[in-house]
Chains A and B, each alone.
Chain A
Amino acid sequence: MHEKEKDLISAFLSGGMSRRGLIKRLGALGLTAASAGTLHNLMATQALAAEFDWKKHSGKSIKLLLNKHPYTDAMIANLDAFKELTGMDVTYDVFPEDVYFDKVTAALSSGSSEYDAFMTGAYMTWTYGPAGWIVDHNEWINDPEKTNPMYNWADMLEGVRKSCAWNGVPGGELGSDDAKQWCIPWGYEQNNLTFNKAMLDKAGVAVPTNMSELMEAAAKVQADTDGIYGIGVRGSRSWATIHPGFLSAYSNFGEMDLTNEDGKLSAAMNTAGSKAFHADWVKMIQESGAADWSTHTWYQVGTDLGAGKSAMIFDADILGYFMNGGDNAMAGELAYAGFAANPEAKAPTPNIWIWSLAMTKASKDLDATWYFMQWASGPEHALFGARKMDFVDPVRNSVWEDEMFKEKLNKGYPGYVDMYNASAPGASIKFTPQPLFFDMTTDWAAMLQRMVAKEVPVDEGLDQLAASMNKQLAEAGLR
């Protein structure tokens, strides 16, 4: 590597130069922003090495259990940097997402020490944590001996970080003072609107800003263009139907899944407000949702938008992000907007999905594994992933302040950064953490399906759901 460039980057790292200045100066030397990024990363790695004994676990080997995902791809692409930095070896098993969590449950429940760390969602840790399969990561985060000084835990978005922390008490508040950090956020998804701009324009419809506008816009745009439907949301008989758009809108109206009175949980889906919201949601799907909504998962919602069969989706922002690229017919045609369903609400309050990393309690060397964890969730790798790979949405403030990353988003994904900024302050997990999470959400989805199919009226369905939920809570000793 050329000395001049190295010096420049060193100057930047030691704080003597702004990022923009660095890129400009490097550009003068004939380096593109992208290769400057690589160079910066390499130098940053060296800088990391200077202040912390990264080689402490040199020669050790750890094994990861990973989901086939763009985040995984980004990590693997950068993994050599970690191996060089620490002298450790990392092997991994990657499983398809369709079967990934089954594999995790099988591996963890058997008490196997094969995998030292794995990818997980925050919801899953509500099972894994109490089951005793994972550790409280605070023990490592707060230990300066074990965590490098540049890790900067406070840089993690607060709502996201807290959503991954729970005291283990059913109904306990996420991120409370006594909470255990069950997993380390890696990347996350806010649920907002992604829309086909041309279709909305053609129908003369403005980007909807609340629930009734959304219903109206969906109906109007569907009537205007042949062979499409207005709004894509998930509908399969699965917990995954509840957590994206549905719960984001639901909680924007201040509605809750459960109430907690002195540790006694009760279902809260049959309040008047909830019934009104459900009625709207069901009507929206009946009128302007997909004909085969009840089999729609992440994939169908995305595919239809990407192929130009739906005008909007109310789902993960990164699903909309993916559909704006690749060989999708609508690549480059999509735009984004934050969405607050409640006209009274000041801002969107998206429920979020957080892909995280967690160490297995059965691991034979947690300290060495933590070296990988802090690197993979550290600021440098986050920056690398965000700039060069598809590591969206990053969980670190510093990455969202990065000009290069924002430029990339602004260029290819119109409205994405604004959407993000509008909804990030309110973004967190809106569910009540408790052991029956999957039972509750799956039953909820099944009831939605029956309501949309007009097999049961909304009011009655919700009363049934709440009654069934209360019975299950009582049986599990939670009520």
Chain B
Amino acid sequence: MSVQADMPVMRRSSRLSRTMLPYLLSLPALLVCIGILIPFGTAVYYSLQRYRMSQPWNRGMNWGENYLNFFTDPDFWNTLQVSLTYAGLTVVLELLLGLGIALLLQKRSRVNNFVSIMLLMPLMTAPALAALMFKLMTNSNFGILSYFMQLAGFQDFRWASSPDTALLTVILVDVWVYTPFIMILLLAGLRSLPTQPFEAAALDGVPRLEQFWRITLPMLSPYILTAALFRLLDSIQQFDIIYAMTQGGPGDKLMVFQVEAYLNFFQSTNVGRSAALLMILWAITYVLSNIFVKNWLRLRERARGEA
């Protein structure tokens, strides 16, 4: 398509297009996703029912009962606590580590570029399979990581099998898989920062550490927020790693939302409770991402102001 040929058309409709264009551009994306709303609506309906597939005769609307039951259900509060702890710890650890690695690799060089691509490999390993491999590597007999622990003097380190270290172990796997995600987003962000403020600061003799706190971090913050948001949304919905490593055990130590909802649905076929759990998870993520997005917009404005 030649640009010239387009022009008259564009000109003629320019007033119309100015108002309609953004809608036209964003609508297809919205339409494609809107279909998802129908099953979503169905799930909301299920969450308001007493609905266990193995007892069809008991099925019926019980309105908010599934939700109300959660208030007095210690399992639910445990699930909430474990999910939030897991999400909080993984996101913070991965942000710190990801930012650190991005700073190490910030300088443009062949080696740094190559290393940054190589570091993406954990992310390319499907979490379910990565967890299977980690389960073997932490096996008390054949596991290389257990062997290293023994060499380091920890004779009886039981990784995911012990209630004391299970959370630590799955967080380790999560950090291994997903830190590269944050690293690559922040690296791209770091490298796209304008050079002028840094040059000016250097001329003024501002120490590098202060440059980092006063220029780099504020300007990078929208990127950090985007990365954190996507990690948080995934992390609070963690399933693959935890299910493959411990199925939520030992005891109820790692019963996060998705594992509990999965067991409720696929094993107990308790559709009503499963859907209600997932709706709560959805509400939590909705609120969290709302907060994030608001701040994101604000930080962008500020970052632009400083640039």
Task: Tell whether A and B belong to one assembly.
Answer: yes
When each residue 286-321 of chain A gets 1 if its CB lies under 8 Å from chain B and 0 otherwise, what string results?
Answer: 000011111100001000100101000000000000
**Would B163 and A453 count as touching, CB distance under 8 A?**
yes
Q: Which of A84-92, A125-133, A153-161, A364-372 lines the interface with chain B? A: A125-133
Residue of B nearest to A440 (CB): B268
**Would A132 and B52 count as touching, CB distance under 8 A?**
no
**Would B249 and A237 count as touching, CB distance under 8 A?**
yes
**Would B249 and A446 count as touching, CB distance under 8 A?**
yes
CB contacts (< 8 Å) of B56 on chain A: these are 130-132
A191 at interface, CB cutoff 8 A: no
CB contacts (< 8 Å) of B247 on chain A: these are 236-238
**Would B250 and A449 count as touching, CB distance under 8 A?**
yes
Residue of A nearest to B161 (CB): A292
**Would B268 and A130 count as touching, CB distance under 8 A?**
no
Cβ of B132 to closest chain A Cβ, rounded Å: 9
Q: Assuming A300-B139, A476-B55, is B269 touching A131 (CB within 8 A)?
A: yes
When each residue 141-166 of chain B gets 1 if its CB lies under 8 Å from chain A and 0 otherwise, what string results?
Answer: 11000000000000010111111000
Residue of B nearest to A290 (CB): B140
**Would B141 and A307 count as touching, CB distance under 8 A?**
yes
**Would B163 and A476 count as touching, CB distance under 8 A?**
no
Number of contacting residues on A, CB 8 A?
Answer: 38
A455 at interface, CB cutoff 8 A: yes
Contact of A109 among B53, B138, B156, B163 (CB under 8 A): B53
Residue of B nearest to A451 (CB): B251
B266 at interface, CB cutoff 8 A: yes
CB contacts (< 8 Å) of A18 on chain B: these are none
User: Complex formed: what's the CA distance from A446 to B252 in Å?
Assistant: 7
Interface positions, chain A 416-469, Cβ under 8 Å from B, are 435-436, 438-439, 442, 445-447, 449-450, 453, 455
Interface positions, chain A 211-245, Cβ under 8 Å from B, are 227, 236-239
User: Complex formed: what's the CA distance from A177 to B248 in Å?
Assistant: 40
Contact of B53 among A131, A442, A447, A453 (CB under 8 A): A131
**Would A442 and B266 count as touching, CB distance under 8 A?**
no
Q: Assuming A131-B56, A453-B250, is B160 touching A295 (CB within 8 A)?
A: yes
B246 at interface, CB cutoff 8 A: yes
**Would B250 and A291 count as touching, CB distance under 8 A?**
no
Cβ of A236 to closest chain B Cβ, rounded Å: 5
Interface positions, chain B 159-180, Cβ under 8 Å from A, are 159-163
Contact of B141 among A109, A293, A309, A446 (CB under 8 A): A309
A259 at interface, CB cutoff 8 A: no
Contact of A105 among B161, B248, B269 (CB under 8 A): B269
User: Complex formed: what's the CA distance from A387 to B142 in Å?
Assistant: 35
Q: Assuming A293-B161, A307-B141, A477-B58, is B267 touching A438 (CB within 8 A)?
A: yes
CB contacts (< 8 Å) of A151 on chain B: these are none
User: Complex formed: what's the CA distance from A132 to B55 in Å?
Assistant: 10
Residue of A nearest to B69 (CB): A475
**Would B263 and A126 count as touching, CB distance under 8 A?**
no
**Would A237 and B139 count as touching, CB distance under 8 A?**
no
Residue of B nearest to A450 (CB): B251
Interface positions, chain A 317-371, Cβ under 8 Å from B, are none
User: Complex formed: what's the CA distance from A127 to B267 in Å?
Assistant: 9
B245 at interface, CB cutoff 8 A: yes
CB contacts (< 8 Å) of B270 on chain A: these are 439
User: Complex formed: what's the CA distance from A126 to B52 in Å?
Assistant: 12
Sample of 28 A–B contacts (CB below 8 Å): A102-B266, A105-B269, A127-B269, A130-B56, A131-B56, A131-B269, A132-B56, A236-B247, A237-B246, A292-B139, A292-B140, A293-B161, A294-B246, A295-B160, A295-B249, A307-B142, A435-B52, A435-B55, A436-B268, A438-B263, A439-B270, A442-B267, A446-B250, A449-B251, A450-B251, A453-B251, A455-B163, A477-B55
* Closest CB pairs A-B (n = 10): A237-B249, A292-B161, A435-B54, A438-B267, A291-B140, A450-B251, A127-B54, A449-B250, A294-B250, A237-B247
A: which residues have CB within 8 A of B? 101-102, 105, 109, 126-127, 130-132, 227, 236-239, 290-295, 300, 304, 307, 309, 435-436, 438-439, 442, 445-447, 449-450, 453, 455, 476-477
